Chains A and B, each alone.
Chain A
């Protein structure tokens, strides 16, 4: 019993000596840590930075993939003459090749040759002469390039084709219309573009007697901005 008590005591003394020895080995490092902090309430081994953290905001890069604009030109309504056309357009550029585009435009039809010859005949009422269309198109930039004016000026440009579906409201009825277009986008600056477009709206009608597909070709000039 006495021997066991003695060995426990001896063990305790040895352990205490070893632990204090360990602390002796590390005391230099500890001393370095203790210097900085004046506040005695906190753990002396942690450095409290006295500098206020500055919020670093990385500026976001603005994506300018949308294009909005207006256009005007001439629309040849088959059998109803060539008439002025006004429209608006909105495009989203998916990649350097592909874009989606929507159009909304209005024109007013003239008279047919039959109406000109026989003024008593009315093919379409006056209200029905409004020609309104919307299109949803897929476009592809087939020939991107640069155009030059003189020696010192170059403008980026893209020749593109579009194909789409939409609605034409003419003679007070809505018809399904397919459309095919070819256009040139000339970038005057990075955010301003000039458009030259030729587009055909094809739909089925029986306004002039027999049912047939009519081609309504427009040639327009437009201005758009990228945002």
Chain B
């Protein structure tokens, strides 16, 4: 653990060094009557400085929807994303404020959640890559924690979103395969502690705000084993994710 701590501290120093080395300031010209600079990156922080029309601000970095900017005479503050979007580059082109990813056609998704796997508590984390607007590759790592045994399940599969344009609620269905490892807690021990499995899933997803979304899934697993009787398991889960 101490070694891990040392690595994290080292990583922190490296990140800071790299952060300073790669700084290329971006200059923008205010076109609105004024640009407000807040003392912090949040709606409640007071306005500490105002930059007038046709004056220049230097953009240092962003945090969520706020941009740290520096006025021509060195005053620093946080500008709201929407306010900065109306500024211009010195060339006259619009400010390069990256747009929000479009929910219906986003590429990447990372999330985590809670569920129930065959009456065991489930902690789940997943990553998702969109091949098209409606077909994704989904990779999941999850840990089921029960009273009789604990399981680690890793799966990979394809998921289809039926109506990707539906923003708040869109049904999904998927299939996939994976692997399960069982750690026994109470005897009798399972005859086989490592199994391959396959699943079908039904679910839904929806947009919450900005780059934030929810997912709910029901999965039916078939666990392949050498007992001549396939084990059938069910899983429910709910997760929150960010998309890029």
- Interface check A156, CB cutoff 8 A: yes
Task: Please determine whether A64 and B121 come into contact, CB atoms closer than 8 angstroms.
Answer: no
B234 at the A interface (CB under 8 A)? no
A146 within 8 A of B: yes
Residues of A within 8 A of B61 (CB): 61-64, 190
| CB proximity to B under 8 Å, residues A86-105 | 86, 88, 92-96, 98, 100, 104-105
| Residue among B42, B66, B91 facing the most chain A CB atoms (10 A cut-off) | B42
| 1/0 contact string of A33-72 vs chain B (CB within 8 Å) | 0000000000000000000000010111111110011100
Please report the C-alpha to C-alpha distance between residue A178 and residue B240 in the assembled complex, in whole angstroms. Answer: 16
Tally A residues with Cβ within 8 Å of B. Answer: 46
- Tell me how far the C-beta of B227 lies from the nearest C-beta in chain A, rounded to whole angstroms: 25
- Asked whether A146 and B68 contact (CB < 8 A) given A68-B11, A175-B145, the answer is no
Contact between B121 and A92, CB atoms less than 8 A apart: no
A12 within 8 A of B: no
Q: Smallest distance from the beta carbon of A4 to chain B beta carbons, Å?
A: 64
Q: When the two chains form their complex, are residues B64 and A144 in contact, meaning their CB atoms are under 8 A apart?
A: no
- In the assembly, what is the distance between CA of A198 and CA of B22, in Å? 36
Is A116 interfacial (CB-CB < 8 Å)? no
Is A63 a contact partner of B63 (Cβ separation < 8 A)?
yes
Known contacts being A62-B62, A145-B44, is A167 close to B143, with CB within 8 Å? yes
Name which residue of chain B comes closest to A177, CB basis. Answer: B145
Let me know if A166 is at the binding interface, CB within 8 A: yes
Which single member of A64, A136, A156 contacts B40 (CB below 8 Å)? Answer: A156
In the complex, chain A residues whose CB is within 8 Å of the CB of B231 = none
A125 interface contact, C-beta 8 A: no
Is B228 in contact with chain A by the CB < 8 A criterion?
no
Check B65–A95 contact: CB distance below 8 A: yes
Rounded to whole angstroms, the CA-CA distance of A136 and B8 in the bound complex is 19
* Residue on A nearest B43 in the bound complex, by CB: A96
Query: Nearest CB to that of B143 among chain A residues?
Result: A167
Quick one: which of A61, A146, A191 contacts B19, CB cutoff 8 A?
A191
Residues of chain A at the chain B interface (Cβ within 8 Å): 56, 58-65, 68-70, 86, 88, 92-96, 98, 100, 104-106, 136, 138, 141, 144-146, 154, 156, 158, 165-167, 173-176, 187, 190-191, 225-227
